[in-house]
Chains A and B, each alone.
Chain A
Amino acid sequence: GTTKTYQIPIGHLDYKFIEKCTDVKHLEKILRVLRSGEEGYYPELTLCCEKRIEHLDPGSRALRKDKPAATASDFTAEEWKTISGELMSWVTEMNEDDKKPQFLTTETLHERQDNLPPIRCSSSCLPANQNKKLQNKKRNKKNIPRDYSEWDKFDVEKECSKIDEGCEENNSKGRFFSRPSLPIIEKKIDTTGMTVKEKIFIATREKEKGNEAFAIGDYLEAVTYYSRSISVIPTAAAYNNKAQAEIKLQDWDNALQDCEKVLDMEPGNVKALMRRATVHNQLQNYQAAIEDLTKVLCVEPENAIAKKNLLEIEKKLKGLKPASESQGKGKRILIQDIEDAEGDEERRENREEHDRTSGDKKKKPQKHLSDHEGEVNGYLCSDQKSESPEAEICRSHGAGSQSAGGGSSTSLPPAAAKLKSEGNELFKSGQFGEAVLKYSEAIEYVSGLGEQSPDDLSILYSNRAACYLKEGNCSDCIQDCNRALELQPFSLKPLLRRAMANESMERYRQAYIDYKTVLQIDSSIQAANDSANRITKTLIDQDGPSWREKLPRIPVVPVAAQLHRWDGGNCASENKPRSEEAEEKFKMLKNEGNVFVKKGKYEEAVNKYSECMKLNTKECTIYTNRALCYLKLYKYEEAKQDCDHVLQIEDSNIKAFYRRALAYKGLQNYQASVDDFNRVLLIDPNVLEAKRELEEVTQLLNLDSSAAAGGQEKQRKKITIQEVSESDEEERQFATSEDVTDHVTSKEAVEKCVPLQTSGKLHISEPSNAYEFGQIINAVNTNKDKAACADLLTITDPQKLPVLLSNKLEGEILLIFIQSLEYYVLGKDPGLVYQHLFYLSKAERFKVVLALLTKNEKEQVQQLFDLLTENQSDQYSLEDLESLKKVYEL
């Protein structure tokens, strides 16, 4: 029989059935039947059914039960005491307030009412001509109420409010005007005539609004509301929260001020100290940051975050010193200085420009080139928070000496040049706000002269844009970049800066366009490449596969601009002394090598690095990098040799030790490996990977090696992740620095993920189940890596294919299978190709997928079959092939 409602077989009202059933809908029906009691009353079965549903779908609506309100008896005595105690104290508090005399006099009331905005529609503050209209309208309104459609036509009010808005605009802060999209919210609240109680109420309310905005990431809005709260009653909490929101906005200067206000009010406020430390860290006042963190640790010795940050900052501080000493060692400094060094590069640029006023303008683009290289690195650098002012200073010495011979006058008028160099200095010392002022003055001065040279003005704008970008003031940055680009179309720096600003404002499309333009001008800019890729991902997530259609047009860079660049490049390099040229080439090769590493093409990377070594044998990083590649390629002996070489030059190179340890591990020389790991930890005890590795190797050493293979395999994957991300940026320490909660960090994380995936797929191991297989396929598919796919297919037993694919076969997957079989497997083993094709056709969903292939895709399949026919093998006959073709509907 069945139940009355839902007609469920009676047999389903059974423990065994319920425990096995996975259909939540069905279970919900059973539960309803059970609860209704129409088939009898089974409390335990009902409970069992509820549990099952909860297990399958914790959010199921059927689980909602009507509950009576909790009363005193539902709580423990203690809980109830706190609840009622709180209530009682609140009641007495409110009573007391009520008894207090009302402060308000009629005067203040009037005053307040005077402050109110006019009555809607009222003509009090409007010019006469509009008055008439308004009155007409009013009369109309009295007689005929307006209907909805009229609402759309009516515009007098709009004009009124426009006028109001005009007034409003004059009062409110300029900041919002650069962003017309943002709603205009007054930053201050008029508190005339308010009682203390009211003020407290409003201040709390505004703060709560700020908290809510903060919680969903509207930091600008949050800052506004906190400011409003502060304007009513300044509280430490509001300042503190505002500081946090400003940190999120990377508005370091204001955040610093706010932290200091909190600390003025509450000298030992731990949160404020932590926040100020973060700001100091960002502004590169490491010493101050350390002091703050120490104070925090005095109050809360167990504060883990403070400890961690302290260690990181100390490390940074330490890391700076050797860097500044080892000026001669090239690479280190090269990567670190950059971001801010552009200031003096530009100065140099000016000088050179002046030297060649006679007409050799060709030098200039080259300068741009080297210049933006700096910037590119700087970009990476700043992302990963390892800027170093000291290293940069020594760089500026270098620059100074280089340009010493070149004369020191600039093409700018002396006053402007002075302002500009002052701006550059300020920029370098991290005082971006002041730098902006200097640049602005210079801009004013230059444009005031009338006989402006667009180049200089463009550079000034570009520099100011850099300051804005640093301050997190993206919209102004974009404006300045636009101006700079108007003056000098297709110059790289403003383009890059605009792209970064757009990206951080989440205007991914514009950013994408800018990066693409940059790449058209110079495709070797790694940061632009990376960012473009990153944005592509974001855009795909956002807009789906057709994201490209939504892009604005990418401007075509005139060939002249590109050629110009190249000409300049060649010409300049001819002019250059040989050594410099070699250095340039060295750098280029190295960068290419790094790119290959990131893409997971280790063999190519090894080649590049080897070429590098021909040019310069003293550069340690090349060896450590090559060692890394060898490790990836399982060439442990070579890796070890490279590390040995490095250690001869630099006897405490931590990376070399670490990689040699890994190499020893690969060579199964566990004792030596343990020794090297210990040395790593001796140099820097915080390298977690090394600790982990050490433990493992020690275990391996203790055990015997037979069971080791599996673990080793696993471990290797882990390393992959860290090592590659690290190789992006040679200067980074092993321990990846995670800055507490910053969105820059998340960006970084994204960047890390990319190499992770690409490198992961190179180590394809035979998948043991459908899940693993699916994971690999997904990775392969997202990267369209046919080689990896071919590897996968080679090691996979064709017979297992239908099982491994389960129901996950899709058009894209089929296609990539076909392509990789054609390009990579066919030449080696046509038999295997046939086998795969045969078993592929047995997979679930195969028919569906096949039916959905486009004509073009079908042609690809056809092509593969044609090639199979040509490459005869004894594993299949032509008849077999023909019948398979039929299965494939060809």
Chain B
Amino acid sequence: KIEKAKPIKCGTFGATSLQQRYLATGDFGGNLNVWNLEAPEIPVYSVKGHKEIINSIDGVGGLGIGEGAPEIVTGSRDGTVKVWDPRQKDTPVANMEPVQGESKRDCWTVAFGNAYNQEERVVCAGYDNGDIKLFDLKTMTLRWETNIKNGVCSVEFDRKDINMNKLVATSLEGKFHVFDMRTQHPTKGFSSVSEKVQKSTIWQVRHLPQNRDIFMTSGGAGSLHLWKYEYPAQRSKKDSEGAEMGVAGSVSLLQNVTLSTQPISSLDWSPDKKGLCVCGAFDQTVRVLIVTKLNKV
């Protein structure tokens, strides 16, 4: 057990090698720290990255997932999203923030994706006003943005290390959206399907590491839902102007359980054991679950 002065909000192993296993954390003071858990006294990397709390963190390029450099992205209440390379001290390698004067939105969630070769990489960020923005780190452009009306609690690509395939975004009001990220229409963007789960917030979504088309959402009412995405027969079609347009598939509920009366705020799958997952809830409990028969879906 290690105690630190500032409360920690989020953490990830995503940018470290399988051997090193350094933990990257974001805390309430806006600091990004990378810890060697074998010697946790002093962080191996530390930066005061944001003015306010870091809400969300994600890593890529480590753990054998994602080609290219290891990078960490942080999203903060100060409205900025910053990408860090643990090899570069003090300054982010990329920084995305609103225009001066434009109201700053609270960034609630960030995720890496599209890291299928050494250059390609995108960051997706979700904001409290329902904005979802997709930044392309290769071309350094804002590639796409949309609004899903309610605050975006969690976004995740089905796999970080493939040519962008699907993105799931969950919202404050109990809905989640699945975007087909293969085909981007010049004006309409990506097509999506949405599903209403319940009245309460969907706090988090996590895809099964062994099968990208199965994902679990954790809900405000203390429940978990297991979903499967089914692709349409044709994933893209031509619109009236001949531009390619994606076609969204459908989602079906495989299973649901209610574990607690309190919201389940975080959730993750085991990369090694298919179906093993862990979730943390507001009732101060961490629960470990096993989902069986996943290979039959």
Residues of A that sit less than 8 Å from B by CB:
59, 61, 64-70, 83, 87, 90, 94, 102, 104, 109, 112, 116-122, 138, 141-142, 145-149, 151-152, 154-155, 157-158, 161, 164-165, 168, 183-186, 195, 197-198, 201-202, 205, 208-209, 212-213, 215-216, 221, 542-543, 546, 549-550
B102 / chain A contacts, CB cutoff of 8 Å: 147
Q: B161 → chain A, closest Cβ, in Å?
A: 8
Picked from B19, B64, B118, B212, the residue with its CB within 8 Å of the CB of A117 is B118
Judge whether A148 and B120 touch: CB under 8 Å: no
Main SS of chain A's interface residues? helix
Given the interface pairs A61-B196, A90-B272, A148-B133, the reply to whether A185 lies near B97 with Cβ below 8 Å is: no
List 8 additional contacts besides A157-B138, A183-B163, A205-B64; criterion CB under 8 Å: A94-B272, A109-B17, A117-B118, A119-B87, A148-B96, A148-B142, A201-B64, A221-B163
Residue B52 interfacial (CB < 8 Å): no
Judge whether A87 and B19 touch: CB under 8 Å: no
Which one of B24-32, B40-48, B233-241 is at the interface? B233-241
Residues of B that sit less than 8 Å from A by CB:
17-20, 61, 64-65, 67-71, 80, 83, 85, 87-88, 91, 93-100, 102, 116-120, 133, 135, 137-142, 159, 161-163, 196, 209-213, 221, 223, 231, 234-235, 237-238, 240-242, 252-253, 256-259, 271-273, 276, 287, 289-290, 292
Q: By CB atoms of chain A within 10 A, which of B85, B196, B237 has the most?
A: B85
Picked from A90, A148, A186, A208, the residue with its CB within 8 Å of the CB of B210 is A208
A-B contact count (CB 8 A): 160
Judge whether B95 and A145 touch: CB under 8 Å: yes
A213 / chain B contacts, CB cutoff of 8 Å: 162
The distance in angstroms between the C-alpha atoms of A119 and B91, with both chains bound, is 12
B140 / chain A contacts, CB cutoff of 8 Å: 151, 154-155, 157-158
The distance in angstroms between the C-alpha atoms of A67 and B225, with both chains bound, is 10
Q: A764 → chain B, closest Cβ, in Å?
A: 32
A164 / chain B contacts, CB cutoff of 8 Å: 118-119
Judge whether A198 and B64 touch: CB under 8 Å: yes
A83 / chain B contacts, CB cutoff of 8 Å: 290, 292
B64 / chain A contacts, CB cutoff of 8 Å: 198, 201-202, 205
The distance in angstroms between the C-alpha atoms of A168 and B117, with both chains bound, is 10
Judge whether B119 and A546 touch: CB under 8 Å: no
Judge whether A542 and B142 touch: CB under 8 Å: no
A208 / chain B contacts, CB cutoff of 8 Å: 210-211
Judge whether B117 and A183 touch: CB under 8 Å: yes
Given the interface pairs A70-B257, A119-B88, A198-B18, the reply to whether A168 lies near B119 with Cβ below 8 Å is: yes
A68 / chain B contacts, CB cutoff of 8 Å: 257-259
In the assembled complex, 25 residue pairs joining A and B whose CB atoms fall closer than 8 Å, in A order, are A66-B257, A66-B258, A69-B258, A90-B273, A90-B276, A116-B68, A117-B118, A120-B85, A120-B93, A121-B94, A146-B95, A147-B98, A147-B99, A148-B99, A154-B140, A155-B140, A157-B138, A157-B139, A168-B118, A198-B18, A201-B271, A209-B159, A212-B212, A543-B237, A550-B241
Closest CB pairs A-B (n = 9): A147-B99, A120-B93, A66-B258, A157-B140, A183-B163, A69-B257, A202-B64, A119-B85, A145-B95
Given the interface pairs A208-B210, A212-B212, A542-B238, the reply to whether A121 lies near B117 with Cβ below 8 Å is: no
The distance in angstroms between the C-alpha atoms of A213 and B290, with both chains bound, is 26
Judge whether B19 and A102 touch: CB under 8 Å: yes
Given the interface pairs A185-B116, A195-B19, the reply to whether A121 lies near B133 with Cβ below 8 Å is: no
Judge whether B253 and A64 touch: CB under 8 Å: yes
A148 / chain B contacts, CB cutoff of 8 Å: 96-99, 133, 142
Judge whether A161 and B97 touch: CB under 8 Å: no
B161 / chain A contacts, CB cutoff of 8 Å: 209
Given the interface pairs A61-B196, A119-B87, the reply to whether A151 lies near B96 with Cβ below 8 Å is: yes
A195 / chain B contacts, CB cutoff of 8 Å: 18-19
Judge whether B97 and A146 touch: CB under 8 Å: yes
Judge whether A120 and B94 touch: CB under 8 Å: yes
Residue in chain B with minimal CB distance to A544: B240
The distance in angstroms between the C-alpha atoms of A118 and B19, with both chains bound, is 21
Judge whether A64 and B118 touch: CB under 8 Å: no
B120 / chain A contacts, CB cutoff of 8 Å: 183
Judge whether A209 and B93 touch: CB under 8 Å: no
The distance in angstroms between the C-alpha atoms of A116 and B87, with both chains bound, is 11
The distance in angstroms between the C-alpha atoms of A205 and B19, with both chains bound, is 17
The distance in angstroms between the C-alpha atoms of A126 and B221, with both chains bound, is 53
A138 / chain B contacts, CB cutoff of 8 Å: 91
Judge whether A151 and B141 touch: CB under 8 Å: yes
Given the interface pairs A158-B140, A201-B64, A209-B162, the reply to whether A118 lies near B69 with Cβ below 8 Å is: yes
The distance in angstroms between the C-alpha atoms of A67 and B99, with both chains bound, is 47
Judge whether B69 and A120 touch: CB under 8 Å: yes
B289 / chain A contacts, CB cutoff of 8 Å: 69
The distance in angstroms between the C-alpha atoms of A205 and B142, with both chains bound, is 30
A64 / chain B contacts, CB cutoff of 8 Å: 253, 256
Judge whether B117 and A87 touch: CB under 8 Å: no
Q: A539 → chain B, closest Cβ, in Å?
A: 9
Given the interface pairs A119-B85, A186-B67, A205-B64, the reply to whether A67 lies near B256 with Cβ below 8 Å is: yes
Picked from B83, B99, B163, B213, the residue with its CB within 8 Å of the CB of A120 is B83
Q: B51 → chain A, closest Cβ, in Å?
A: 11
Q: B151 → chain A, closest Cβ, in Å?
A: 19
Q: By CB atoms of chain A within 10 A, which of B120, B163, B211 has the most?
A: B163
Judge whether B213 and A212 touch: CB under 8 Å: yes
Picked from A118, A142, A550, the residue with its CB within 8 Å of the CB of B238 is A550
B71 / chain A contacts, CB cutoff of 8 Å: 120
Residue in chain A with minimal CB distance to B85: A119
A201 / chain B contacts, CB cutoff of 8 Å: 18, 64, 271-272
Judge whether A145 and B88 touch: CB under 8 Å: no
Q: A208 → chain B, closest Cβ, in Å?
A: 6
The distance in angstroms between the C-alpha atoms of A361 and B231, with both chains bound, is 55
A102 / chain B contacts, CB cutoff of 8 Å: 19
A186 / chain B contacts, CB cutoff of 8 Å: 67, 117-118
Given the interface pairs A104-B19, A120-B137, the reply to whether A152 lies near B142 with Cβ below 8 Å is: yes
Judge whether A67 and B231 touch: CB under 8 Å: no
Q: A188 → chain B, closest Cβ, in Å?
A: 12
B138 / chain A contacts, CB cutoff of 8 Å: 157-158, 161
B19 / chain A contacts, CB cutoff of 8 Å: 102, 104, 109, 195, 198
B290 / chain A contacts, CB cutoff of 8 Å: 83, 87
Q: B187 → chain A, closest Cβ, in Å?
A: 16
Q: B213 → chain A, closest Cβ, in Å?
A: 7
Judge whether A149 and B99 touch: CB under 8 Å: yes
The distance in angstroms between the C-alpha atoms of A119 and B159, with both chains bound, is 23
The distance in angstroms between the C-alpha atoms of A117 and B95, with both chains bound, is 20
Q: By CB atoms of chain B within 10 A, which of A148, A165, A198 has the most?
A: A148
A116 / chain B contacts, CB cutoff of 8 Å: 61, 68-70
Judge whether B238 and A185 touch: CB under 8 Å: no
Judge whether B135 and A151 touch: CB under 8 Å: yes
B116 / chain A contacts, CB cutoff of 8 Å: 183, 185
B292 / chain A contacts, CB cutoff of 8 Å: 83
Judge whether B93 and A121 touch: CB under 8 Å: yes
The distance in angstroms between the C-alpha atoms of A195 and B259, with both chains bound, is 39
The distance in angstroms between the C-alpha atoms of A191 and B253, with both chains bound, is 39
The distance in angstroms between the C-alpha atoms of A198 and B252, with both chains bound, is 34
The distance in angstroms between the C-alpha atoms of A149 and B95, with both chains bound, is 12
B258 / chain A contacts, CB cutoff of 8 Å: 66-69
B241 / chain A contacts, CB cutoff of 8 Å: 550
The distance in angstroms between the C-alpha atoms of A202 and B117, with both chains bound, is 15
A542 / chain B contacts, CB cutoff of 8 Å: 234, 237-238
The distance in angstroms between the C-alpha atoms of A109 and B19, with both chains bound, is 9
Residue in chain A with minimal CB distance to B121: A120
The distance in angstroms between the C-alpha atoms of A152 and B221, with both chains bound, is 41
Q: B195 → chain A, closest Cβ, in Å?
A: 9
Q: B134 → chain A, closest Cβ, in Å?
A: 11
Q: A692 → chain B, closest Cβ, in Å?
A: 32
The distance in angstroms between the C-alpha atoms of A209 and B235, with both chains bound, is 18
Residue in chain A with minimal CB distance to B235: A216
Residue in chain B with minimal CB distance to A508: B238
Residue in chain A with minimal CB distance to B20: A109
Residue in chain A with minimal CB distance to B116: A185
